[in-house]
Structure 1
């Protein structure tokens, strides 16, 4: 199937075009077959700033060996209960820096916490990165999952659902319209102000992450895809099937953590959000994901030697397909 088609309901207030011109979206979903991304921090350093040169070296390496996307998380503060601070660096300057050191690989967020960011700031920052990367930005967007952050940002925890929807509607409007007239909990625009720059395409692709406190039907209607966490295969099968019923061929993406065992025949052992296993089992697992209808998988490599593991995965899985 041609995954460049982005299907929405006819009554979608923000009707999407049939062909998405965003380069990053096309890189991830424009052709038949499963595509692969990987996520920052590529060095595995997630409680303090990682070494920038090492991160960029691995990012360029991932692009050169056939990965289709590089994804970074949006973690505003470090909460020790979660045991990591994500990429540490703020999303927008980091992706701008990565864009300057790569050429064609898609740049994704997994995911921007819309409830904790002003939508006009998100619109301007995202469009800036999209322009600087020549249209390679794809936005995973989320409602957030770290409870203390809502108090830190003065956000009512109980309004997350409404705030998320308002942000999505605002982003679509200010990217597509000049001098828009709209209002929300974030404030109002009366038609006298414009938000610039505009993105390279009519809109930057938005992939709600998890449920984002919305219904599957809302996500299907308003999202350019659905980004989900690792799920057991029997559960994943049901989720993808229900997604197809709601959204047609609109892409389904997921994340999984993998540690590649030295023995290619080693059987799988569960780890957080994924598996440690030999490449023979991993190859079968990836084939099952494609059979179930997954369009893109973000592979978090857990091996100590990340460069070697990325190369093994690319040689044995990506190039062999």
Structure 2
């Protein structure tokens, strides 16, 4: 069992019975479209997030643009974008939510993740998934029905090559009889977070991953999922979820649902109350997807950082405040 409290990204972000906040880069505004924020505009948001004290920054992985999927996905490759983020930050945990294991070779994934972890001084949180855009599987000549075994294969291959020197591997996609993957992670492991069920049982996820990244849903259902996770994880493994929020100027504005996805428009007071409710049911980290129909995203980020974040600070930030 790896003690990930020695991993700076994990320790900054997760603590039992507590909730912290991260953000995802706002690269979309309208359904089916990708907003082409310049790289510098995105880095301005990233630097602001770190300065304000957010625990993490997550980016998504959508290899192909599918205009019929319902959202446009992301503009940049997640590993390249996060490498650029690493060069412009010092403390912010960085993560994928989530890398598509079925469409990426496990040896490439292992090397990319280990590279990011070393370059960031162990700040990388590795969310992984099976993929959900139907058009991508024929494009990559991958049988969609093989998603469950390809996901398991990726986890098993990555863990082995991170830990062992010159490992021997024979799997569906790997025939490794010589050579090695470098660099090796400093802890001989990187925290892995499965997304949803990823076509696995909760028992398998609890044994082979280091936390659960689950979809946002109604509080009662989320409480039941969290309890299921806790029943299978005798030692602490964090529970993470995204949350789409359109923050209105009136801090007392009542919530209204965001269509299609689980999220809401509201003033900041409802957001604070809702985050406390998530903490009470056992959520350890919320990755905010901040979007707006009317306000500059920079203003929303600043408001969350000034009024909401101090109630749910990163743990490094807590230590600084108490010293």
Tell me whether the two structures share a fold, i.e. TM-score over 0.5. yes
**Stretches (4+) displaced over 6 A:** none
What corresponds to 2:173 in structure 1? 186
Alignment of 1:86-125 (within 5 A): 86-125=73-112
1:191-211, CA deviations, whole angstroms, 9 ceiling, x for partnerless residues? x21111112322111000011
Candidates 299, 303, 307, aligned match of 1:316:
307
Instruction: Give the structure, 1 or 2, with the largest relative contact order (CA under 8 Å, sep 6 or more).
Output: 2
Give the secondary-structure state (helix, strand or coil) at the position aligned to 1:147. Answer: coil
Higher mean C-alpha displacement, 245-254 vs 77-86: 77-86
Structure 2: 5+ residue runs without aligned partners?
A: 313-323
1:71-106, CA deviations, whole angstroms, 9 ceiling, x for partnerless residues? 000110000112434331111111110000011000
| Pair 314,31 (structure 1): closer, same or farther in 2 beyond 3 Å | farther
Alignment of 1:128-143 (within 5 A): 128-143=115-130
Alignment of 1:60-79 (within 5 A): 60-79=47-66
| Pair 42,150 (structure 1): closer, same or farther in 2 beyond 3 Å | closer
In structure 1, distance between residues paired with 2:191 and 2:167: 20
1:172-194, CA deviations, whole angstroms, 9 ceiling, x for partnerless residues? 0001110001111112112x211
Alignment of 1:1-321 (within 5 A): 16-30=1-15, 33-41=18-26, 44=29, 47=34, 49-190=36-177, 192-248=178-234, 249-271=236-258, 272-303=261-292, 304-321=295-312
Give the secondary-structure state (helix, strand or coil) at the position aligned to 1:276. Answer: strand
- 1:282 Cα shift? 1.3
Kept in 2, the 8 Å contact 1:72–1:91? The answer is yes
1:266-285, CA deviations, whole angstroms, 9 ceiling, x for partnerless residues? 21111132011122211110
Kept in 2, the 8 Å contact 1:63–1:105? The answer is yes
In structure 2, distance between residues paired with 1:184 and 1:26: 33
Structure 1: 5+ residue runs without aligned partners?
A: 1-15
Root-mean-square deviation over aligned CA pairs: 1.6
In structure 2, distance between residues paired with 1:25 and 1:38: 15
- 1:20 Cα shift? 4.2
Kept in 1, the 8 Å contact 2:26–2:289? The answer is no
Higher mean C-alpha displacement, 258-267 vs 94-103: 258-267
Give the secondary-structure state (helix, strand or coil) at the position aligned to 1:116. Answer: coil
TM-score by length of 1: 0.91
TM-score by length of 2: 0.90
- 1:19 Cα shift? 4.2
